[in-house]
Structure 1
Amino acid sequence: MRVRLMLIMSLFVILSSFISAHGQKSVSEKVSNALAKFDAVIKPDKAKRSSIETIFTDFYTAHEKLRSNIQGAASDNRQPLQQDYQSIRKQNESLFADRDNRLKKVLSTEEFKKWKDEIEPSLRKK
């Protein structure tokens, strides 16, 4: 009986960890997804596509680092203060602003408008 219970518990832990890990995409998957959407809407040339890939790789890497810092603090059982939330929010907004500023330098005005109106909304989680 004890062995069955331990087997069921370990199976549950393995399945739950698999399900939670499966829900998150890696940085390269996110970049590939963004590039596919750019290719469909804007069709950038090779040089522009390379620049966009670098911008999104940097953005998603920094975003994952910020996210892991938040999760690390939460796992330490620290109670987040309102200041911490505001600080994290500002850091997150600065990541998005930096990404958009870098994209403005690479894309034309019309392409940037397509980015803001069509591509960016489609990349958000649903």
Structure 2
Amino acid sequence: MKKVILLLAIAITGAIAVQAQGGFQRRTPEERLKHVKEKLVDLKLDNEQTTKSDSTFMEFFRGQGKMFEEMRAGGAPDREQMREKNQKLVAERDEKLKKIFTEDQYKKWKDEIEPSLRPQRGGNRGGGNN
């Protein structure tokens, strides 16, 4: 009986370890939009702004998804090239948002909301007071 319990405990521990290492799944564009919309509530967007910003974010998220797929299909991704493509997508998105949001809304987006959407990394890699 003790052996069965021990084997069961080892199997569960192994399954949890495998799940933890491979468990990261990129969210769909729709899931990402929902998350952004929850944060945008503070901007008090009108209906037209909401519709236009939803479209802008979906275009952005789909562009990122396409970029990641292209990079994965090409083998080992070139991090610098990937960063440049992502910066271009962000710049395009931000130009559209500037036309949709008021100046105050855009400032709040850039200063407060956008930084809160970035994934938090563990540890202090920077080595300084960042």
TM-score by length of structure 1 reads 0.73
When the two structures are aligned, how many residues end up with a matched partner? 107
CA separation of 1:36 and 1:87: change in aligned 2, threshold 3 A: same
Once the 2 structures are TM-superposed, how far is the Cα of residue 22 of structure 1 from its aligned partner?
5.5
Q: Secondary structure at the match of 2:74?
A: helix
Once the 2 structures are TM-superposed, how far is the Cα of residue 20 of structure 1 from its aligned partner?
3.6
Distance 2:21 2:27 in 1: 12
After superposition, the C-alpha distances for 1:40-61 in whole angstroms (9 at most, x for unaligned) are x101011100111000000000
Report the aligned-residue RMSD: 2.3
CA separation of 1:62 and 1:47: change in aligned 2, threshold 3 A: same
Distance 1:123 1:52 in 2: 16
CA separation of 1:108 and 1:37: change in aligned 2, threshold 3 A: same
Once the 2 structures are TM-superposed, how far is the Cα of residue 25 of structure 1 from its aligned partner?
1.2
Unaligned runs of 5+ in 1: 1-7
Relative CO higher for 1 or 2, CA cutoff 8 Å, sep ≥ 6? 1
Percent of residue pairs bearing the same amino acid type? 28
Residue in structure 1 matching 2:30, options 14, 18, 28:
28
Match of 2:82 in 1: 88
Match of 1:4 in 2: none
Asked whether the equivalents of residues 35 and 52 of structure 1 are also in contact (C-alpha less than 8 Å), the reply is no
Once the 2 structures are TM-superposed, how far is the Cα of residue 107 of structure 1 from its aligned partner?
0.5
TM-score by length of structure 2 reads 0.71
Counterpart residue type for residue 64 of structure 1: G
Match of 2:49 in 1: 48
Q: After TM superposition, what 4+ stretches of structure 1 lie above 4 angstroms from structure 2?
A: 15-19
Match of 1:101 in 2: 95
Q: Secondary structure at the match of 2:31?
A: helix
Once the 2 structures are TM-superposed, how far is the Cα of residue 70 of structure 1 from its aligned partner?
1.4
Once the 2 structures are TM-superposed, how far is the Cα of residue 86 of structure 1 from its aligned partner?
3.3
Unaligned runs of 5+ in 2: 1-10, 121-130
Which one has a larger percent helix, Structure 1 or Structure 2?
1
